[in-house]
């Protein structure tokens, strides 16, 4: 939970749930947010400067962790908008590549400019001192793939992630078979509607939802930024 000190006209600070975008080993916390001009929190948060006070909840919670999934061959991370944030953390974690032979991240946004963060982060990983050698195989083929799509502008892939899964275009782009509970594991993060629709679709392939206490084939984010 992130917030700012209350103003004179507020009874209590406004706090919102954000996913941590920095990897678990990092000594600083990174967050990824949209800028909402009239938003009760982001309208102020986007104007903070060095030295300003930011409130941070003591205990992080969430289901988008590797331990909530059973072992598998391929890890899919389905994201829309700022839902890419937790995956920005996981693709920089060596444990992700120790557990899975292939990692495929999808990022669906409305406009091309919204893809800049994910594209830059993933393309720079080859130079990362910790995971740079892990994101490619010995033969030079990538173990990490980023697949992007847009809903409002022309793009190599256009449409919602659910549409791309249903049509099979996603798997054609990735060069993989369709989802299989024997080999594939899935994480989903985005708006509540996107999560609900994508989770229901993933279940049609035979994957079951897991949790920290009962790992299974897919997990979804259950906290949302207001």
Q: Where along the chain do its domains lie?
A: 66-220
Q: How long is the chain?
A: 226
- The predicted pLDDT at position 62 comes to 84
- How crowded is the C-beta side of 155, counted as CA atoms within 13 Å? 20
> Is the pLDDT score of 160 beyond 50?
yes
Of 32-46, 61-75, 88-102, the poorest mean pLDDT is in 32-46
Of 20-29, 84-93, 171-180, the poorest mean pLDDT is in 20-29
Mean of per-residue pLDDT scores for the chain = 94
User: How do residues 117-132 score in pLDDT, each as one tens digit?
Assistant: 999 999 999 999 999 9
Per the CB < 8 A criterion, the answer to whether 83 and 198 are in contact is no
Q: What is the mean pLDDT of residues 193-197?
A: 96
What span, in angstroms and rounded, lies between the C-alpha atoms of 159 and 85? 21
> Is the pLDDT score of 225 beyond 70?
no
Q: 74-80 and 184-189: which strand pairing? A: parallel
Q: How many CB atoms lie within 10 A of CB 11?
A: 5
Helix (H) or strand (E) holding 88: helix 85-90
More confident call, 67 vs 39: 67
- The predicted pLDDT at position 226 comes to 36
* Closest C-alpha among 11, 64, 60, 15 to residue 199: 64
Q: Which CATH number is 66-220 given?
A: 3.40.50.80
- The predicted pLDDT at position 224 comes to 53
């Amino acid at each position: 939970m992130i917030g700012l000190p209350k103003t004179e006209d507020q009874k209590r600070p406004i706090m919102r749930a954000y996913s941590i975008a920095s990897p678990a080993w990092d000594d600083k916390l990174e967050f990824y947010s949209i800028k909402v001009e009239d938003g009760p929190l982001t309208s102020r948060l986007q104007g903070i400067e060095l030295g300003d006070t930011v409130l941070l909840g003591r205990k992080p919670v969430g289901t988008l962790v590797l331990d909530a999934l059973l072992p598998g061959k391929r890890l899919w991370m389905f994201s829309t908008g700022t839902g890419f944030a937790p995956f920005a953390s996981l693709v920089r974690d060596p444990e992700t590549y120790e557990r899975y032979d292939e990692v495929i991240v999808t990022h669906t946004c409305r406009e091309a400019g919204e893809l800049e963060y994910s594209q830059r982060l993933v393309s720079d990983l080859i130079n990362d001192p910790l995971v740079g050698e892990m994101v490619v195989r010995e033969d030079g083929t990538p173990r990490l793939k980023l697949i992007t799509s847009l809903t409002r502008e022309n793009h190599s892939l256009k449409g919602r992630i659910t549409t791309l899964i249903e049509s099979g275009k996603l798997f054609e782009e990735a060069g993989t078979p369709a989802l299989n509970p024997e080999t594939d594991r899935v994480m989903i993060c985005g708006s509540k509607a996107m999560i609900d629709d994508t989770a229901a679709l993933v279940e049609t392939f035979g994957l079951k939802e897991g949790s920290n206490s009962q790992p299974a084939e897919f997990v979804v984010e259950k906290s949302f930024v207001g």
